[in-house]
């Protein structure tokens, strides 16, 4: 009996450690992808912005868009914060669309206006990431 309790405890510990690692590794991936978007903006690489923001958006939605999946990666005392991840995914998706519309010149705007709108949307994406990260991570 005690052996099965020990094994169950080890499996639980292993699973929670892997979940935390999975969350951390996913967050590091999103950070790297968001950095690619920023580099493309700085170098005025429209194709790079388009490709990198689409890649970032897909991974952000995969990670943050499903409340139950995201909650499973959180420690028990933080599971109630999973809704913040879903809200962040929605904010990210909305602002990614603004960036893609600017790259495509969907509204026939000047290059300067499109760049400024896209870059503003990028900062809103950063804010959504930090807001979610701080609520899930921090104790204060």
Q: Give the CATH number for residue 60.
A: 1.20.120
Any domain includes 1: no
Query: Is the per-residue pLDDT at 64 higher than 80?
Result: yes
Q: Higher-confidence residue: 6 or 122?
A: 122
89 CB-near residues (< 8 Å, 6+ apart): 60, 61, 63, 64, 65
Q: Residue 6 has what pLDDT?
A: 54
- pLDDT tens digit string along 30-60? 999 999 999 999 999 999 999 999 999 999 9
Residue 114 lies in a domain: yes
- Higher pLDDT among residues 86 and 16, named by residue: 86
Answer yes or no: is 10 within a domain: no
The pLDDT of residue 126: 97
Is residue 42 in a domain?
yes
In a domain, 9, yes or no: no
> What's the alpha-carbon Rg for the chain, to the nearest Å?
18
Residue 48 lies in a domain: yes
What distance lies between CA 117 and its chain's CA centroid? 20
For residues 88 and 64, the answer to whether their CB atoms sit within 8 Å is yes
135: Cβ contacts below 8 Å, ≥ 6 apart: 81, 84
Give me the pLDDT at residue 31, please.
94
Q: Which two tokens stand for residue 38?
A: 């920023």
**Domain contains 84:** yes
Average pLDDT, the chain: 86
Specify the pLDDT at position 140.
Answer: 54
Domain membership of residue 14 (yes or no) is no
* Domain ranges, residue 101: 20-137
Question: Count of domains in the chain?
Answer: 1
């Amino acid at each position: 009996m005690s052996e099965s309790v020990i094994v169950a405890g080890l499996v639980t510990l292993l699973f929670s450690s892997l979940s935390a690692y999975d969350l951390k590794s996913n967050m590091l991936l999103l950070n790297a992808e968001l950095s690619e978007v920023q580099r493309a903006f700085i170098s005025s690489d429209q194709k790079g912005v388009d490709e990198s923001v689409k890649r970032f958006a897909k991974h952000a939605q995969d990670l943050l868009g499903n409340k139950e999946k995201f909650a499973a990666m959180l420690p028990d005392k933080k599971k109630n914060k999973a809704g913040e991840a879903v809200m962040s995914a929605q904010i990210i998706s909305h602002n990614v669309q603004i960036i893609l519309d600017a790259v495509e010149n969907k509204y026939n705007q000047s290059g300067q206006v499109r760049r400024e709108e896209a870059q503003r949307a990028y900062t809103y994406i950063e804010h959504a990431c930090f807001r979610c990260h701080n609520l899930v991570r921090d104790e204060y």
